[in-house]
Amino acid sequence: MPMPSSLPLTKLLRSPSRPSCSSSSALSLLLRRAMSSDATAAAAASASDPIAPSNTRVGWIGTGVMGRSMCGHLIRAGYTVTVFNRTVSKAQPLLDMGARLADSPRSLATLSDVVFSIVGYPSDVRSVLLDPSSGALASLRPGGVLVDMTTSDPSLAEEISAAASAKGCHAVDAPVSGGDRGARNAALAIFAGGDPATVRGLEPLFSVMGKVNYMGGPGKGQFAKLGNQVTIASTMVGLVEGMVYAYKAGLDVGLFVSAISTGAAGSKSLDLYGNRILQRDFEAGFYVNHFVKDLGICLKECERMGLALPGLALAQQLYLSLKAHGEGNLGTQALILALERLNNVKLENAGSSNV
């Protein structure tokens, strides 16, 4: 669904340089401005300014495989960025680029107008955003925005939105797809749920990371990402099954993968992972552990909706088998290992051609 185009782009946030006023001082300020039409016009123009590096401070929570690249794009775009990560060393590349370090999500939010989060699990999301003593919302000033880019529970996204609204703030769920390569190349698909005007106002920030797709109200971004994961799960099973089949048939698997990539079997998963599998490169662009989490959320939502998706259930079982073998910190392309074990084969040196 495209984002509505009829809504005016209005600035969602008060400029960081604009001080808070008591009601009496605010009234005096309004009276003084009313005496000058020029001042009134200038104030109106300022209120309609879009988000920009000159007037918007960004907070970033989570500097892992994806988050580090995504946040880096914002720094390069000129935004003032404060970061928080439980393992400080993972934030060091961003600090070297000029980001500031916060010691908690709460302290980060005091320095931010828009707070992004991309962490591991729904429990992490709840902790960094909603914890009453250390979470970002506790110190985010009215008008501020929380943007959670973690793949998480739709119900939690709705809860965060309600909590933010009660405090005079905004919240958007905006999980992403595209893996580590998409994050590095600023080519992510972003699935946004929340108030449409809020999402539109955030587009200057989203645009430096990828393409934002407005999916509906709170939680709908998460539902869209979960549907994306359902599609990827069965696609990955098909990819590795096809490669094992080609190997057993005596084909050069590299030539096979290259041949099918331009036909109806071609897919983004094949483009991203076909050659990595042949090279036995299982470094995580997206962790098996996190994919198991995503598929578990999908299955829970399926149960709630009374929906049977057997391909999803099979894929989740295969990925769980990787965890059982201690391979949860490998990338999702490691699914080939599960199929190799089932068939007592190994695709090492199965083909020398690149995809």
Q: Report CA dihedral (276, 281, 285, 290) to the nearest 10 degrees.
A: 110
Residues with a known catalytic role: 225
Question: DSSP code of 170?
Answer: E
Closest CA to 329 of 291, 296, 288: 288
Are 41 and 232 within 8 A, CB to CB?
no
- Between CA 217 and CA 158 the distance in angstroms is 9
What string of DSSP letters covers 265-277?
A: T--HHHHHHHHHH
- Between CA 187 and CA 181 the distance in angstroms is 8
Are 275 and 200 within 8 A, CB to CB?
no
Are 199 and 220 within 8 A, CB to CB?
no
Per the rule left: phi > 0, alpha: psi between -120 and 50, beta: everything else, 300 is: alpha
Beta strands (DSSP E) in 67-162 are: 80-84, 100-101, 114-117, 145-148
